[in-house]
Structure 1
Amino acid sequence: MEDYKSYIGGEWKAAKSGADFEVRNPFDNSLLCKVADCNAEDLKEAIDHASKAHASWKKSTPRERSALLRKIGDLMMRDQDKLAKVLTLENGKPLGEAKGEVGFGATFFHWFAEESRRAYGETIPSPAPGVSFTTVQEPLGVAAMITPWNFPIGMPARKISAALAAGCSCVVKPAEDTPLSTLELMKLIEEAGAPTGLVNIVPCSRNSVKEVGDAMCADPRVAVISFTGSTEVGKYLYAKCADTVKRVALELGGNAPFIIFDSADVDAAVSGLITSKFRNTGQTCVTANRILIQAGIYDRILDNILPKIKAMKIGNGMESGVEQGPLINERQQARVKRIVDESLNAGAKLVLGGKVLDNGFEPTVLTDVQRGMACWEEEIFGPVLSIMKFTEESEAVDHANDCDRGLAAFFYSKDPGQIHRVSSALESGMVGANHVGISMPESPFGGYKTSGIGKEGSKHGLAEYSNIKLVVQNFN
């Protein structure tokens, strides 16, 4: 695979320092390529170009923005297989999942191609005769984006498409483990005819992350920072943006409860749980983390789910039929192992799995889980089911809400009254009732509590990159 440069001001450039960093395949740790290791000086140049591009892009018509976004989405679908292979090589997820992620990313360009033409203002009934009150939406300015490794093309696509639709320019720092998918996406943005400097990609190594992130927060020309990642890093960025009073959009960590009530359809609940828990080897922010199963259906659920987990094919995501790929790196592997070991030492029961693999972690089931255990309190980000038995509905809701994070929550029930009560009671920005597919371009994605600020996708995603201006006109 060829080495990659940054993309700044319409040119592919080496880092000003001449440094680069390695990107490795998480399955076998083989070297894929080297990538330009940018620093604050490179970032400043990118912001220079983005500022100039914004000056003209903000004057573009919705139709012009729509045409560019539509073309980018179309090019992503044209190159879906190629992009999926790059994604699997650097991230490890099964090729079918990677292909799905590319399609997912394309839907955001297609969605915001249409939504850019619906950035409506409003007419407000006037409190005074002869005076009109109207509002218009205007682009914020330069949007800086820090994207995660678990969806290395889906998340940049979701952010970039919304920002461009609103009339903003972009400076993107992809995750150091998985920068290649974003750089491949940039090739398509360039091919689609994006104006010079409109989108800039500034990759960097782990050693340079803090320098680049701090520079993004400090530069007054950056109007908004959009970050997807851990709650801890999100809090840090939030504080760093205070001096320049930037808009922040933070999609942070989750610790999703997954409740199965006695009234649930067993087959549907098991299918939903496996899909939610084991997609991307459990490395998603909305994955089912804390599993609550009502006593009357508990044994049936376990009897149904354990054979399906045992049958999962583990291996190289590039191989046909593989359902569980590697964890992203050794740090994540060690973290999952620690969480499992600490939970077992605290009294959890190991029913299945629990072993470290050469390149990941065995799908694992823990039962007899209690509050306070590591597997219950921490976001695992790995293929571990942490199961607690409960008796009453109120007990399940109490357990589910006993968490400082509220990104997503799921439950299965066929009781209409229960569906209404539980949906209302769960303290989460997104609730899936008998359904786990909650992330679509049409729907607002975002959480409560320390799971973040703002929404991505839907009309609300466009608003994250827009200012509302009030115009009051006197006709007297």
Structure 2
Amino acid sequence: MTDTATRAREILERLGAGDPFDPDGEAGGGAGPRAADVIVSRSPIDGQEIGRLTPHTPAEVADVIGRAQGAFEQWRTVPAPVRGALVRELGELLREHKEDLGALVSIEAGKIVSEGLGEVQEMIDICDLAVGLSRQLHGLTIATERPGHRMMEQWHPLGVVGVISAFNFPVAVWSWNSALAFVCGDAVVWKPSEKTVLTALACQALLTEAARRVGAPEQISSVLIGEREVGEALVDDPRVPLVSATGSTRMGKQVAPRVAARLGRSLLELGGNNAAIVAPSADLDLAVRGIVFSAVGTAGQRCTSLRRVIAHESVRDELVEKLKAAYETLPIGSPLEPSTLVGPLIDESATSAFLAAIEQAQADGGTLVTGGEKADGVAGGQYVRPAIVDMPKQTDIVKAETFAPILYVLTYRDLDEAIALHNDVSQGLSSSIFTLDVREAETFVSAIGSDCGIANVNIGPSGAEIGGAFGGEKDTGGGRESGSDAWRSYMRRATNTVNYSTELPLAQGVEFV
């Protein structure tokens, strides 16, 4: 057994998540042997097996949802501040096991150590936010035209929330949804990426323990293991009023109409093609630091990764030279090594997409400034050298989201041109501008500036905090998760009018006698 497999197994044992090499046990679908259907989990660090698990069948998905519905019917009657105790316990368990869970994220998703730990910290942070929220769920009292009446709105628990997550944030996305859903009175059924199943089982084990401690229903949270057919069964079930799906735009365009066909709700967090405008007044040293992290963090496998730099012609050459120098010193290798800044891509198909995009960009007239090939001297896994490509214009390959560390550099003359280039892509997630000119900064974040859900000044587009609602427009799906008023997505609204008089006036002056 490889080092990654041994370490993953030891972590899962400490977290009470079962044996990852027991396909017929509770860690898997638990439905008995179906050897041909076993999902093999591999670490992108070295390509080695770290688990074998049995997927659920569509019929088993229906059973899981049925049990979740029963748990919801109990949970919705529990006062919201008491529901907050469940999330508080989960947060405490995450603090206790942060090192282990962060390491498991690195082993299974390929994130460097600090990013794996940072993802768990994000979970802890959303738990803190949700616990406070459990005492702040509020409606409105609304002025009514009818004397002796009171009108108000309330927010009630919604039901079973389906969560579909991607490999690149294997635990944080679940927590964004689940922490809010639990305090809102919902149950959660989670279908993680088949590429990152072990981290999901670890989270489920911690949640199960938290539920035991506070006496919450056992099936308040469940994990579904499987590929497309399992996700389709979750998406199509009418007992799931909300499906929160994170992944590619292609996936979202398949999920949304299926949920809409049964008049359910979709909360979609899809692709991004994020840009940074670098203005003439920009602090270039600050810009370089912000650009490099945003472009190569998680090996370019974030929905908020920086993919385009739109640089003013007066600073473009100097900026590219500084970026080139920074890129050529980036330590590439095992994410478990503390000195590593660039880990592996998730699998071979990601490497193929990276190389194909580089080839197409060059065919479109682009000049490869640095990187763009497989990394030599790194044993096992899918390691590449992050690329910078100077482009003469914004071609189709630049407008496409390649989930890999490729940074395209475009040039502009005036801010209107830069904003037009920035917005001329189908995605609308995150964006940024580096400028010391207050007019440029305010224009960029105004209604005529960035068309993204996130617009930053003097920081890159990557690395959102949980206090703000996270999400974007256009092909990004329009959903919002995490902070602000995102909790409303997980509840249903009821408008109430109470007549405390002896009269019965009708609205709009209608008379009916």
Q: Deviations over 1:147-190 (max 9, x none)?
A: 01001011111111111121100100010101111111111111
Kept in 2, the 8 Å contact 1:168–1:465? The answer is yes
Q: Deviations over 1:395-450 (max 9, x none)?
A: 10000011111111111111011111111111111101112365212101010112
Unpaired runs of at least 5, structure 2: 1-8, 10-18, 376-380, 502-513
Q: Which amino acid counterpart does residue 367 of structure 2 have in structure 1?
A: K
Q: Deviations over 1:119-153 (max 9, x none)?
A: 10110011111111101101110001100100101
Q: Output the CA distance in 1 between the equivalents of 2:489 and 2:269.
A: 12
Q: Does 1:119 align with 2:137?
A: yes
Q: Does 1:377 align with 2:399?
A: yes
Q: 1:362 is matched with which residue?
A: 385
Give the deviation of 1:199 after TM superposition. Answer: 0.1
Q: 1:3 is matched with which residue?
A: 20
Give the deviation of 1:195 after TM superposition. Answer: 2.1
Give the deviation of 1:379 after TM superposition. Answer: 0.7
Kept in 1, the 8 Å contact 2:184–2:487? The answer is yes
Q: Does 1:40 align with 2:75?
A: no
Q: Output the CA distance in 2 between the equivalents of 1:344 and 1:253.
A: 23
Q: Which amino acid counterpart does residue 458 of structure 2 have in structure 1?
A: N
Alpha-carbon RMSD: 1.7
For normalisation by structure 2, the TM-score amounts to 0.89
Q: 2:45 is matched with which residue?
A: 27
Q: Deviations over 1:236-279 (max 9, x none)?
A: 00011123111110011011111110111111111110111111
Q: 2:6 is matched with which residue?
A: none
Q: Output the CA distance in 2 between the equivalents of 1:110 and 1:97.
A: 20
Q: Which amino acid counterpart does residue 389 of structure 2 have in structure 1?
A: L
1:408 and 1:7, CA in 2 relative to 1: closer, same or farther beyond 3 A?
A: farther
Q: Does 1:180 align with 2:198?
A: yes
Q: 2:473 is matched with which residue?
A: 448
The equivalences for 1:326-405 within 5 A come to: 326-357=344-375, 359-374=382-397, 376-405=398-427
Q: Does 1:315 align with 2:333?
A: yes
Give the deviation of 1:36 after TM superposition. Answer: 2.5
- The counterpart of 2:157, out of the listed 139, 142, 146, is 139
Q: Does 1:250 align with 2:268?
A: yes
Q: Does 1:426 align with 2:443?
A: no
Unpaired runs of at least 5, structure 1: none
The equivalences for 1:163-242 within 5 A come to: 163-193=181-211, 194-204=216-226, 209-242=227-260
Q: 1:462 is matched with which residue?
A: 487
Q: Which amino acid counterpart does residue 65 of structure 1 have in structure 2?
A: R
Aligned length: 469
Q: Which amino acid counterpart does residue 149 of structure 1 have in structure 2?
A: F
1:393 and 1:231, CA in 2 relative to 1: closer, same or farther beyond 3 A?
A: same
What is the DSSP-based 3-state SS (H/G/I as helix, E as strand, rest coil) of the residue aligned with 1:351? strand
Q: Output the CA distance in 2 between the equivalents of 1:36 and 1:330.
A: 23
Q: Deviations over 1:81-121 (max 9, x none)?
A: 11111111111111121011111111111111111221101
Q: Deviations over 1:266-300 (max 9, x none)?
A: 11111110111111011000111111011111122
Q: Output the CA distance in 2 between the equivalents of 1:132 and 1:237.
A: 40
Q: 2:431 is matched with which residue?
A: 409
Percent of paired sites with the same residue: 27
Kept in 1, the 8 Å contact 2:131–2:183? The answer is yes
What is the DSSP-based 3-state SS (H/G/I as helix, E as strand, rest coil) of the residue aligned with 2:243? strand
Q: Which amino acid counterpart does residue 100 of structure 1 have in structure 2?
A: G
Q: 2:378 is matched with which residue?
A: none
Kept in 1, the 8 Å contact 2:272–2:428? The answer is yes
Kept in 2, the 8 Å contact 1:42–1:202? The answer is no
Q: Output the CA distance in 1 between the equivalents of 2:314 and 2:220.
A: 57
Q: Which amino acid counterpart does residue 196 of structure 1 have in structure 2?
A: E
- The counterpart of 1:16, out of the listed 12, 19, 31, is 31
Q: 2:13 is matched with which residue?
A: none
The structure richer in strand per residue is 1
Q: Which amino acid counterpart does residue 198 of structure 1 have in structure 2?
A: I
Give the deviation of 1:5 after TM superposition. Answer: 7.1
Kept in 2, the 8 Å contact 1:57–1:167? The answer is yes
Q: Does 1:435 align with 2:459?
A: yes
Deviating more after overlay: 140-149 vs 58-67: 58-67
Give the deviation of 1:454 after TM superposition. Answer: 2.4
Q: Deviations over 1:171-225 (max 9, x none)?
A: 0001010111111111111111242110000111xxxx22112211221111100
Q: Output the CA distance in 1 between the equivalents of 2:479 and 2:365.
A: 38
Q: 2:91 is matched with which residue?
A: 73
Q: Output the CA distance in 2 between the equivalents of 1:298 and 1:453.
A: 33
Q: Does 1:264 align with 2:288?
A: no
Task: List structure 1 runs of 4+ shifted beyond 3 angstroms.
Answer: 4-8, 11-15
Q: Deviations over 1:358-402 (max 9, x none)?
A: 62221111013422241x111121111110111111110000011
Q: Output the CA distance in 2 between the equivalents of 1:21 and 1:244.
A: 30
What is the DSSP-based 3-state SS (H/G/I as helix, E as strand, rest coil) of the residue aligned with 2:135? helix
Give the deviation of 1:14 after TM superposition. Answer: 3.7
What is the DSSP-based 3-state SS (H/G/I as helix, E as strand, rest coil) of the residue aligned with 1:136? strand
Q: Which amino acid counterpart does residue 97 of structure 1 have in structure 2?
A: E
Q: Which amino acid counterpart does residue 113 of structure 2 have in structure 1?
A: L
